[in-house]
Every structure is written in structure tokens, then in C-alpha cells.
Structure 1
Amino acid sequence: MRAPGRAMTLGDRVGVGGRGRRRPCPCAEDGAASVVAVSFVGVVVALAAAVVVVLLASLASQSAAHAADAAALAAADAVSGAVPGEPCALAAEVASRNGARLATCEVTGADALVSVVVDRGAISATAASRAGPAG
């Protein structure tokens, strides 16, 4: 405790010598910041996992679209006689080389319609494509 008229010193503020000791706060919020921090980290981890799943699905979808386009073009080339071979067999081979498997293959006139499936772990993407002469 300081004398009247005397300026407060650092010792008076922190309670040097046992004077002016602070009593512990009987507050109910002890440790609440830890709970909030752990909850925040949990939310961030969950959001990151969701973003990874969405990105993997997008990647599988794009891979399927590219494989379907290439397989349809290969089948259309075989139909037109530009390359030798059976159209659907060529489409299956091209799809396989692009990491997909051929699901369906239909040849109607000079048009080839194919669909492929790409499996990336638990994620599966399907795409279809048509190739043939313009018009």
C-alpha cells in the first residue's frame, strides 16, 4: 500500500513483498481458450479434407472427359478408314491408355459414341463423347 501523496511505483502495481497480492480469479472460463482453439483447428482440418475430396472429384471428372474424347476420336478414325482396326476395340485401348475403362461403345453410320469410367480410389467419374464427321 502506498502513502497518500506518493506516486505509485512498479512494486506497488505487482505487489512486491506480499503487499497487494492478487487473488486468483474464481472464473469459470479457465481453459476456455484451449477449447476454442481445438475447435477451430478441427473445423480447419474438416474444411481442408472437404476441399481435397472436391479437387479429387474434379480431377477424375476431367480425366474421364479427356479419355472419352480420345476414345471417341479413335473409334471415329477406325470407322472412316483412317486407321485400321475395329472401332470399339481401338476405343477401349485408347481409354485404357488414358487411365479409364470403356463402358459403352456405339457406332452409328460414321459416328462413334463412347462412354468411359475413371476410378480414383473411392471416387468414380463417367464421361461420354461423340465423334464423327461434321454436320
Structure 2
Amino acid sequence: MRTRQAGQEAGPGRGLRRDSSRHRDSSRHPSRCPDRHRYSGQGPDRGSATVWSVGAIAVLCVVFGVVLTLGQAVVVRHRAAGGADLAALAAADRWMDGTAEACARAGRVAGAQGTRLVRCTVEGEVSDVSVAAGRGPFEAEVRARAGPAGPVAATAAAHP
């Protein structure tokens, strides 16, 4: 058991401590203590939460940008598919007017959908068109065919 000696004081919950000017000043003025980071929780890791937060926010921004980019690519692909389907139907509807007239009609329909006609052929009652949408890395080209469904009797006989 330790006893108090001259120059020592007992503090509540601290046990015995020497009565030196360093400790006396540090108890009254913690900012003057050279080892204050041990007592105040401010060590070499001070401010690291800010760095981690900035890093996490940067990663989330990159992920958000990638998601937006993929979403844009999907939208362009769907626009091209819808334009191709409608252009093929328009060309198939005008097959009796000839290939030039049918493809001109398909081009007008594709333009109205915000797409552009890339290729158009009409063979008999069947039209085959390719339509592109978007620009640069977000460009999508889709092919569509349209024509009569075929004889109903043959379809019903094949699937009883």
C-alpha cells in the first residue's frame, strides 16, 4: 500500500499523484499539456473521419454516375426498338405502293419517333428495317420485321 509523502496529493478516482508543476498546470489548463492528445482523444487520427466521409461520398457519386449512364443506354435502346417496330409496320402497310414509297413512309415514322432509318427493304408483304437512336457511345441500332401473320388454318392445324 502506498502512503502519501510530502508533495503528493490524492485525487478522487486518480490514486496518488505527484504535485509537480507540469501536472498542476495540465489539470487547470489542458491546452498547455504536451501530452494532451492522450487525455482529450485528439491523436494522430484527428480528422480522419472527414477524409473517410469525403472518400465515401466520392465513391457514391461515381456509382450514381454509372447508374445514370446505364439508365440512359437502356432508354436509347428502348427508343430505337419502338421506332424500329413502328417503322417496320408502316413499311409493311405500304408494300403495295412499292419499296421506295414504303421505305419513305418508314423513314417518316422513324423520324417522328426521334430515331433515324438506317436500312429498309421490302420483299413481298414483309418489310425489314433497321433504325438507330442516340449519338456517340449511346447509339443503339435495332432491326425489326413486319408482315402478315400467315394463314390462320395452318397455325391452328399445327397446334391442336
TM range (shorter): 0.7 to 0.9
Contact 1:60 1:120 in 2 (8 A): no
Which structure has the highest helix share of the two? 2
Identify which range, 36-45 or 25-34, moves more after superposition: 25-34
Is 1:96 aligned to 2:111, yes or no?
yes
Tell me the TM-score normalized by structure 2.
0.67
Task: Determine which structure has greater relative contact order: mean sequence separation of CA pairs < 8 Å that are 6+ residues apart, divided by chain length.
Answer: 1
Amino acid across the alignment from 2:11: R
For residues 125 and 90 of structure 2, the distance between their equivalents in structure 1, rounded to whole angstroms, comes to 12
For residues 51 and 96 of structure 1, the distance between their equivalents in structure 2, rounded to whole angstroms, comes to 28
Contact 1:95 1:116 in 2 (8 A): yes
Runs ≥4 in structure 1, deviation > 6 angstroms?
Answer: none
3-state DSSP class of the match of 2:120?
A: strand
Amino acid across the alignment from 2:89: L
What runs of 5+ residues in structure 2 fail to find an aligned partner? Answer: 1-9, 14-24, 151-160
Match of 2:57 in 1: 41
Tell me the TM-score normalized by structure 1.
0.79
Identify which range, 27-36 or 109-118, moves more after superposition: 27-36
3-state DSSP class of the match of 2:45?
A: coil
1:5-64 Cα shifts (integer Å, max 9, x gaps) = xxxxxxxxxxxx963747224732122111111100000000000000000000000000
Query: Where do residues 37-76 of structure 1 align in structure 2 (5 Å cutoff)?
Result: 37-76=53-92
Query: Where do residues 1-135 of structure 1 align in structure 2 (5 Å cutoff)?
Result: 2=11, 19=27, 21=30, 23-25=36-38, 27-80=43-96, 86-120=101-135, 122-135=137-150
Calculate the aligned-residue CA RMSD, in Å: 2.4
Aligned length: 120
Contact 1:67 1:98 in 2 (8 A): yes
